[in-house]
Chain A
Amino acid sequence: MVETAKTSSGDIVYEAAGLKKEFDGGKVAALRGVDLQIRQGEFVAIIGPSGCGKSTLLASLGSLDRPSAGTLTYRGNSIPDMPDPAAYRAHEIGFIFQSFHLLPTFTVAENVQIPMFEGNKSRSQRKERAVQLLKSVGLDHRLGHFPSELSGGERQRVAIARSLANGPSVLLADEPTGNLDSDSAQQIMELILQLHRDLGMTLVLVTHDLTIAERASRIIAMRDGRVISDQAADTPTTALQ
């Protein structure tokens, strides 16, 4: 659904200009004019105080919510005007949430297969792909378990496997380690970074945690619905630790 011809112009994946989002009929302004560009293969961390609009921005990028004003494109195509936003959500991006958002009545393997119903995989191909993805996140021994039987870190691994179901090129993660203890958080971050590195996925990650943000190639800091700084993090994280 996305014309690849347009991607060549500087590999810009996302471009926002004057992006605004209001809630409750204008009473709450979550985004007050955001301008940004995200390029192919970048790891962008979005930081800022609670309520500054990080999740709202990520939801706009993921076409989960419509902006109120401004323009927002994905590889040159306007996200709010996409003819088939479901296909974009299913195939182009993977979304990872802070509280995992697995479906409680489905097993680990089934949860990973849910997005594959949008696509033309056969039943056995879906199953096979789910097993393969769960293996890659180290959970192939829990296929038949339900989310309630897993630890937080394990649940997030399942959610990551699910986000990769249809082989997206972009990963949008909203505080993926926010609900995890530090050990699990560390492991989940390593997993996400590995995907970014090994699969060359563009990664946009919202976080409170500066040590995580510092591992990004770029840090966008927000406040009150605006971007207040946007700079390359040229210092390797390890140097700061």
Chain B
Amino acid sequence: MTFFTIILRSLIRRPVRTGLTLVGISIGIAAVVALVGMAWGYEKSIEKQLDVIGVDLLVSNMSAGIMPKVFDASLQEPISKLPHVAETTSVLMQLLSVEDAPMMMVSGREWDGFTWNKLEVVEGRMPKNADEPAVVLGRLAAEVLKKKVGDTVQLETSELPVVGIVDGKAVVENGAIILSLSVMQKATANEGKINFVDIRLAPGTSKQAISELSEKIRVIFPEGRARAANEVVSANQGFRIARAMSWSTSLLAIVVGVLGVMNTMLMTVFERTHEIGILLAVGWRRQRVLLMVLCESALLGLLGGITGVTLGAIGLKILEHTPAIRGLLEPDLSAKLLLISVAIAVVVGVISGLYPAWRSSRLSPSIALQS
């Protein structure tokens, strides 16, 4: 018999209570995994998209909202003339509710820009020219909207035919409705407006040169900022909100978990006062009793964490295939997230056990005398 046997035995002896506590804590941890996994997945898919398209710098005004503010399309030209800028293209991208889908990425791209030319047609064709009132759908967007070539989509007030299905390599690309910038501007009543200038840099541009370039862009466009593509993701207010919300909801789930485990541990300690008295009477040190209760609580956390992570991962997989979410994001189920979640569960266990452990270690060995 080892010390661990002693700890395990007291959890096993009350299977119902241990089970219910595990259910409680694992639901909490599953919520953490699902929420944080979604938030991280969202960010990662955007990063991946930018990577696939080959954008190095993005100029936008991130001051408010989930998507950047629109600004005048004429700003593109001076930016394109700056040193180290190889190529630029304008984009007007918005999250719109389209027919049955509550949130769809709709991306209006400058005709013939490099973001257009990356797309691969898998079915149908591309629009004939910049002004053809037509859209192409990313593969997932087509599935989500249940559209094929020849159908139409209702975009705000315009009804536009779907002329092609495209593969954009990244989930966000494939989940988007893509159309020519001028058609997008018309459909959303944003004539002459854009909200991104995507920049491709000359090969071998140094970090130093990039920061000088950013400074120059700031002079041209004081409200805007040029950010490295991956930096955009972390600075975006929408992402920050999503991240904050997922962590704060997670915190709530964790607090509920702590209360549940603490309640269980307190009940166990109260029920076992006599036994703890016996342990002290046969010579156990107070620290050993304290450690026993704490380890029991931590073990509850660990087991709850493992179950919770499993539940959360299954939940995320299910969410990933839900029509409303499909195509918008690819949940992040990294080992890092799973490990962090299990670690949180163990910490929850330890914190919940502190008070019960302290209580039990304060008991008097004379309790053993009462039969």
Contact = CB atoms under 8 A, between A and B. Distances in A.
Do the two shown chains form a genuine complex with each other?
A: yes
Interface of A: 55, 59, 62-65, 84, 86-91, 95, 97-99, 101, 103, 105-106, 109-110, 113-115, 117-118, 123, 126-127, 162-163, 165-166, 174
A99 B277 CA distance: 14
B275 A166 contact: no
B3 A117 contact: yes
Nearest to B283: A90
Contact of B280 (A86, A126, A127, A174): A86
B282 A90 contact: yes
A64 B366 contact: yes
Interface of B: 1-3, 5-6, 9-10, 13, 275, 278-286, 288, 364-366, 368-369, 371
11 contacts: A55-B369, A64-B366, A88-B283, A89-B282, A90-B282, A95-B281, A98-B371, A109-B1, A117-B288, A162-B282, A165-B282
B278 A118 contact: no
B11 to A, nearest CB: 11
B279 A114 contact: yes
Nearest to A109: B1
Contacts of B10: 105
Nearest to A119: B283
B284 A64 contact: no
A179 to B, nearest CB: 9
Nearest to B285: A86
Contacts of A65: 364-366, 369
Given A114-B6, A118-B288, A123-B1, 14 more contacts: A59-B369, A64-B364, A64-B369, A65-B365, A84-B285, A91-B283, A97-B368, A101-B371, A105-B9, A106-B1, A110-B5, A123-B2, A126-B1, A163-B282
Contacts of A163: 282
Given A105-B9, A105-B10, A126-B1, A114 B366 contact: no
